[in-house]
Structure 1
Amino acid sequence: MLLGCIADDFTGASDLANTLARQGMSTVQFVGVPDKPALECEAGVVALKTRSIAPEEAVAQSLVALDWLLEQGCQQIFFKYCSTFDSTPQGNIGPVAEALLDALGAHSAVVCPVFPAAGRRLFMGHLFVNDRLLSESGMEKHPLNPMIDPDVRRWLRLQTKGEVGFVGYKQVRMGPEEIAAALEAEAGAGRRLIVIDAVEDDDLFAIAAALVGQKLVTGGSGLALGLPENFRRAGLLGKQSAPYTRLSGPGVALSGSCSTASQAQLAHYLKSHPGLALDPAELMAGRQTPDMAVAWIREHLDSQPMVYSTADPKQVAADQIRFGRQELAERIEGFFRMLATKLVEAGVVRIAVGGGETSGSVVAGLDAHSLLIGPEIDPGVPALAAIGTRPVRLALKSGNFGAPDFYEKALNALGDG
């Protein structure tokens, strides 16, 4: 294994794995930290569920993943987080990145959450989502990680022990040599985490070319566009990935994200498919259960039904106040985890999932140990083949990703009904 990746959620992991595979790197996504040597691959992506947990626990899990990846012989480590920099003033991006730097004995690492294909760009240190600043994109209403400041430098500084560096767009446009010199100057000034502007894919390729030999890279999946080329130039690539195959059988869609994009995708899907909404009051009282949902799904299995907790952010906020933010989140995640187990037992073989937390719960419920990467469905979202006790095909979508018709496309890409 050449490139070892640590992702802070499951949709981000599949997004990154998709990028690396499309750039010609033999890639496998692992569900948590494996307890044995890796499947044969050139890039391994360890999918954790650390984005919204306590910083000290996120650091601990990330260091365990790092140790395993180094045991596999990785020459470079990539810490992957969301292209909307999902985090709180306490972490977890800053604490994890600093801990990885310390463990690797590295002097610095770039910070670049850019993903132009999904409209995420960084200019003058400010993160944009399409034509809006991050803080005006809807992410300021995120129920777990509200992003209220688009200045990545300022937000990251709240999470870190040291000062945050910066390389601006003018230097980026001058090419890899200038980028490398600017990064070295920032590191020499004691700024270990260095935010770097990028607007287009060409910028990301230039940045990646400047990172040859860097022990740690941090960013969104976009930055991974150019990393395989560094290994290719060194004559290190050539392994073939295990083939992905579609799987025919019943399909179900699940949605837990409350993003603007997810709400639009849900509305589109429900125009032609039956849907079952989770009711927080019924769920918390134990009157709405996974068994009940499975019984309903069986009645509508020919129509590829949807089960969802997606709701308007104002309603979500009211429910969090009523039932407790953490308590409600854990109940919903537990519901989807158990539901995934029961769906596969009921013969469902295709599952399209929206939302990072929901995706993590679903994968946990499937008891899969790794995921093979298939064709891209929408930017950043590949078809996946779960390797475990039962055959199943998955699409794991970050809340903000995907076209309005994502769920239909996803289920069709996974196989026939």
Structure 2
Amino acid sequence: MAVLLGCIADDFTGGTDLAGMLVKAGMRTVQLIGVPDGPVPEDVDAVVIALKSRTNPAEEAVAESLAALRWLQQAGCRQFYFKYCSTFDSTPRGNIGPVAQALMAALDTSFTIACPAFPANGRTIYKGNLFVGDTLLSESGMRNHPLTPMTDSNLVRVLQQQTTQQVGLVDYAHVGQGATAIAARFAVLREQGCGMAIVDALTNADLEAIGEACAGMPLVTGGSGIALGLPQNFRRQGLLAGGAAASALPATGGLRAVISGSCSVATQKQVAWMRKSHPSFHIDPLRLARGEDVVPAVLDWAGSHLHKHPVLVYATAAPETVRQVQAELGVEQAGSMVEEALASIARGLVELGVGQMIVAGGETSGAVVKALGVQGLRIGPEIDPGVPWTATLSDAGTAPLALALKSGNFGTEDFFTKAWSALP
């Protein structure tokens, strides 16, 4: 059977977030790292192609996304999904608007939606404004994001800056009435010449209704939340069976480690929590800038602790520290040096026998899976909303590696220490 849903994610943790939601809804899902060369994996209902395009120049992001779309079209997908962060991470230039518009043109469709809401993690949209918990996005920790600072909460205004399409709004007066009213509002916006629409959402029930209203829509864009409602559309058509075993993973073993590159508020709390009870090693970007090779020192240290406890290697820091480092080294150089160091450390940890690894941060996760040569992931059980365990797709006779790729803003304070209990 052909793949039902083809997804393009703009970073790696976003890909696993979306894939985890699809698995929860009963779709057997794999995440592929970049556009693959080979055929569609067998026995899957959904494929998520994870790119590292969130902060690339818009032209590169568009080209990579279109290449992913072509592969998914060849796989026979019936519907397509462009996934970005639930905090709408972008700049005035993009990349959400340019990528969405290019995908619309390639699919010859004149209308799509944009809905990053994820109530389970406190991301809701009301009157077009994105909230993080009870706080407007522009007043949340995202205003200090080192690469995509979000200083405007009005998503209609943010998206309109990024696209030549007219952007409309499906506000809660329509969403609260359910799928039929939402679909009717879609039709009105089309008639008014809107090509994209921000959609309000406050609860999971809203997301399910929005998903139902998107049945048959060639392209849906949003965070992972709307994935709650899309699988049921295929089930109603008799294309998707029950999903009791959708989250099954092969057994994994080995030692345990956490690598954290995110500087989000949530990850700072998680790092502080784990440091109370587990060995930890801090990566200082300024030492890297001085040319110090810290990787061997980290691996020597890890080798003496891994057999007793899971270890934590982190570059996580408070916003003021990040700004200081960026001022001295430059934003791009500071980020790339840390990512490269953490990726090398991850590869060394696997060589030391680590078989179960948590990685925090989208950019860090992308660097780590690339360094490990991961081609794809089978998606398993959820640890916290938006963060599942995964197992690497491996060759016959090769043991899979368990990976949890966590978006910086996701997870409870004790995420790093409780995650192991969710492994099969």
TM-score (norm 2): 0.95
Q: Please state whether the residue corresponding to 1:102 is helix, strand or coil.
A: helix
Confirm or deny that 1:200 pairs with 2:209. no
Match of residue 392 from structure 1: 401
Distance in 2 between the 1:191 and 1:126 partners?
Answer: 18
Match of residue 299 from structure 2: 294
Distance in 2 between the 1:245 and 1:264 partners?
Answer: 31
Q: State the shift of 1:241 in Å.
A: 4.5
> Is the 2:248–2:381 Cα contact (8 Å) retained in structure 1?
no
CA RMSD, 1 decimal: 1.3
Q: Please state whether the residue corresponding to 1:127 is helix, strand or coil.
A: strand
CA deviation vs aligned residue, 1:382-415 (integer Å, no higher than 9, x gap): 1110123652101111111101110011234347
> Which residue, out of 314, 320, 332, partners 2:338?
332
Partner AA of 1:199 in structure 2: L
> Is the 2:115–2:200 Cα contact (8 Å) retained in structure 1?
yes
Distance in 2 between the 1:289 and 1:155 partners?
Answer: 40
Partner AA of 1:406 in structure 2: F
Distance in 2 between the 1:183 and 1:378 partners?
Answer: 32
Distance in 1 between the 2:165 and 2:25 partners?
Answer: 34
Match of residue 344 from structure 1: 350
Q: Please state whether the residue corresponding to 1:205 is helix, strand or coil.
A: helix
Distance in 1 between the 2:128 and 2:25 partners?
Answer: 27
Partner AA of 2:407 in structure 1: S
Match of residue 407 from structure 1: 416
> Is the 2:114–2:197 Cα contact (8 Å) retained in structure 1?
yes
Confirm or deny that 1:269 pairs with 2:280. no
> Which residue, out of 86, 95, 99, partners 1:96?
99
After TM superposition, list the pairs within 5 Å mapping 1:46-57 onto structure 2: 46-57=49-60
> Is the 1:352–1:411 Cα contact (8 Å) retained in structure 2?
no
Q: State the shift of 1:289 in Å.
A: 3.0
Confirm or deny that 1:356 pairs with 2:362. yes
> Is the 2:82–2:100 Cα contact (8 Å) retained in structure 1?
yes
Confirm or deny that 1:113 pairs with 2:119. no
Distance 1:242 1:405, change over 3 A: closer
CA deviation vs aligned residue, 1:117-161 (integer Å, no higher than 9, x gap): 001000000000111111111110111111111101111111112
> Which residue, out of 129, 134, 139, partners 1:136?
139
Match of residue 22 from structure 1: 24
Distance in 2 between the 1:242 and 1:397 partners?
Answer: 17
> Is the 1:113–1:222 Cα contact (8 Å) retained in structure 2?
yes
Q: Percent identity?
A: 50
Distance in 1 between the 2:298 and 2:61 partners?
Answer: 32
CA deviation vs aligned residue, 1:204-247 (integer Å, no higher than 9, x gap): 11111111110000001111101000000000013864830342
Partner AA of 1:243 in structure 2: A
Q: How many residue pairs align between the two structures?
A: 415
Distance in 1 between the 2:405 and 2:370 partners?
Answer: 13
Partner AA of 1:405 in structure 2: D
Q: Please state whether the residue corresponding to 1:212 is helix, strand or coil.
A: coil
> Is the 1:372–1:385 Cα contact (8 Å) retained in structure 2?
yes
Distance in 2 between the 1:75 and 1:160 partners?
Answer: 25
Distance in 1 between the 2:31 and 2:352 partners?
Answer: 26
Distance in 1 between the 2:423 and 2:146 partners?
Answer: 30
Partner AA of 1:117 in structure 2: A
Distance in 2 between the 1:38 and 1:340 partners?
Answer: 28
Distance 1:312 1:242, change over 3 A: closer
> Is the 1:173–1:203 Cα contact (8 Å) retained in structure 2?
yes
Structure 2: any 5+ residue segments left out of the alignment?
A: none
TM-score (norm 1): 0.97
Q: State the shift of 1:353 in Å.
A: 1.1
Q: State the shift of 1:305 in Å.
A: 1.2
Match of residue 278 from structure 1: 283
Distance 1:378 1:241, change over 3 A: closer
Q: State the shift of 1:286 in Å.
A: 2.2
Structure 1: any 5+ residue segments left out of the alignment?
A: none
Confirm or deny that 1:365 pairs with 2:371. yes
Match of residue 8 from structure 1: 10
Q: Please state whether the residue corresponding to 1:159 is helix, strand or coil.
A: coil
Q: State the shift of 1:320 in Å.
A: 0.4
Q: Please state whether the residue corresponding to 1:368 is helix, strand or coil.
A: coil
Q: Please state whether the residue corresponding to 1:25 is helix, strand or coil.
A: coil
Q: State the shift of 1:168 in Å.
A: 0.7
CA deviation vs aligned residue, 1:286-337 (integer Å, no higher than 9, x gap): 2133222211111111221111110010110111010011011111111122
Distance 1:242 1:183, change over 3 A: closer
Greater alpha carbon shift after TM alignment, 118-127 vs 37-46: 37-46
Partner AA of 1:159 in structure 2: Q
